[in-house]
Amino acid sequence: AQSVTQPDIHITVSEGASLELRCNYSYGATPYLFWYVQSPGQGLQLLLKYFSGDTLVQGIKGFEAEFKRSQSSFNLRKPSVHWSDAAEYFCAVGEGNEKLTFGTGTRLTIIP
């Protein structure tokens, strides 16, 4: 069965600092990988996805993620965070058009 681990429950970074959120997955085949963001009171918004090809993918809001098959990882990065990036971030793995399996999320706090 597929699974996703987000080892960091809560991360605090200063505004303008760089960010990396970790995600490890367990999946038998080549996974479809996603990062979603959930702001307070809002739904889940898709930040970026990886299906195949270039292992470094760009998303919205200046985020990027790198797929590393050897490490079973799909870490999310941003060079310089803004106060508006404070939210909860979920990594997910899927197979085609079927269900997504989500991690437990990482809550990001931004300090001035």
Residues at the contact surface with other proteins, assessed by CB under 8 A: 4, 32, 34, 36, 42-46, 49, 51, 90, 92, 94, 96-105
Q: 38 or 73, CB closer to other proteins? A: 38
Supply the minimum distance, in Å, between the C-beta of residue 90 and other proteins: 5
Closest to other proteins by CB, 54 vs 70, is 54
Residue 51 Cβ, how far from other proteins at the closest point, in Å?
7
Nearer to other proteins, 53 or 96 (CB): 96
| Beta-bridge partner residues of 20 | 77
- CB-CB contact of 5 with 27 (8 Å): no
Contact in structure between 27 and 84 (CB atoms under 8 Å): no
Rounded to a whole number of angstroms, the minimum distance from the CB of residue 37 to other proteins is 11
What amino acid is encoded at 109 in this protein? T
CB 66 within 8 A of CB 75: yes
Q: Using CA atoms, how far apart are residues 95 and 108, in angstroms rounded to an integer?
A: 27
